[in-house]
Structure 1
Amino acid sequence: MTVHNLYIFDRYGTLLYYSEWNRLKQSGITREEEAKLMYGMLYSLKSFVGKISPLDTKEGFLYYKTSKYALHYFETPSGLKFILNTDTSAQNARELLQQIYSQIYVEYVVKNPACSLKEPIKSELFKSKLDALIKQSPVFISRTV
């Protein structure tokens, strides 16, 4: 199992944070263009799931899996969106996303008076704590080329 990358968006689609760990293939477009594509796809998937679901789901869209990777999605009540791309065998990625939100984002962004919630996250403490949490997670395995 391995973690490829993480996106954090605000409720308006602004990319607040991006990091990658074991991403072997780049998209060939700018980070901003990639973020817009990711957010647009998530917006469409959430809308599709909400309209087509035969059940009244409270959580809606949670993840999807292709033959190459899995995308795990977690949205907070305030509209923050956490997207984690992993390999297809990753387990408990939703729990990891909830930990990223509650143990890292809330502690090192929300409670940090130097951080603005409407601007990209630049806190080195946030970055180092996130990196440590990801690397100690059972979902994370480093892949060397």
Structure 2
Amino acid sequence: MVIYGVYIVSKSGGLIYHHDHNVPKLETEKTFSYPLDLKLEYENKKVVVVFGQRDGIMVGHVLMAVNGSVVTNRQLDDGRDVFDVLQTESNYPLNLKFGRPKMTTNDKIFLASMFYPLFAIASQLSPEPKSSGIEILEADTFKLHCFQTLTGVKFMVVAEPSQIGIESLLKKIYELYGDYALKNPFYSLEMPIRCELFENNLQNVLEQVEKTGISNV
């Protein structure tokens, strides 16, 4: 069983902490003949698949290498433009490596800001008064678990659907937050959490819950 990551969002919707625990590395390398049956575009300094899926290569994956030459922005190691290479028939067959793009800190900040209004909308849509909002968001490959404190701070854990012990884990993370962040005289609410003791204890708890489903740390 696997826990992928932990996020803490302030009461105003800002991301104040994130921890990547187990991020699977998804890469696919295939040899292609001309013409290339995938549509690629240059977006956000990456060459991205925008149409066509095959052999584990999905829309949204980025081109990482061509014939072993690493792609940086839209250039190969030798300075050639990626699209010039892909559009030249005489270059084929080509060995292309694709992978899921790594999320940047800015990506995570953006996702946290997106979750905040979704949480509020869920609370308003509930037919029952005083709804707690989104507690579990389930997809086919993961579950996002959320615990909101009385002060509005949200603790989120992304894990495999089969992972057990997440409810107790969320409460344990809340305890660690209180012990190592709130009790720090130099920390104030809405500030990013930068505390080695918090990080180390969180890592220990995550590893224990993955193995046993219980957080006794």
Give yes or no for the alignment of 1:67 onto 2:140.
Answer: yes
**Unmatched 5+ residue regions in structure 1?**
141-145
Give 1 or 2: higher strand fraction: 2
How far apart in 2 are the matches of 1:20 and 1:29?
10
Amino acid of the residue matched to residue 93 of structure 1? I
Percent identity reads: 30
Q: CA–CA distance in 2 between the matches of 1:109 and 1:84?
A: 18
> Does 1:109 find its partner at 2:181?
yes
Comparing both chains, which one has the higher relative contact order based on Cα–Cα distances under 8 Å and sequence gaps of 6 or more?
1
Please name the residue that 1:36 is paired with. Answer: 110
Answer yes or no: is the 8 Å Cα contact 1:108–1:125 preserved in 2.
Answer: yes
Q: CA deviation at 1:60?
A: 2.7
- The runs of at least 4 consecutive aligned structure 1 residues that moved more than 6 Å come to none
- Give how far 1:92 is off: 2.9
Worse-superposed segment, 10-19 or 44-53 = 44-53
TM-score by length of 2: 0.58
**What is the TM-score when the length of structure 1 is the normalising length?**
0.83
Flag the structure with larger Rg: 2
Distance of 2:113 and 2:167 partners within structure 1 = 18
Aligned length: 138
Matched AA of 1:100: I
Q: Does 2:13 match 1:13? A: yes
Q: CA deviation at 1:139?
A: 4.2
Higher helix share: 1
SS of 1:8's partner is strand
What is the Cα-based RMSD across aligned positions, in Å?
2.0
Partner AA of 2:107 in structure 1: E
By how many angstroms is 1:28 displaced?
4.1
| 1:41-52 mapped onto 2 (5 Å cutoff) | 42-52=115-125
CA gap of 1:14–1:38, structure 2 versus 1, over 3 A, is closer
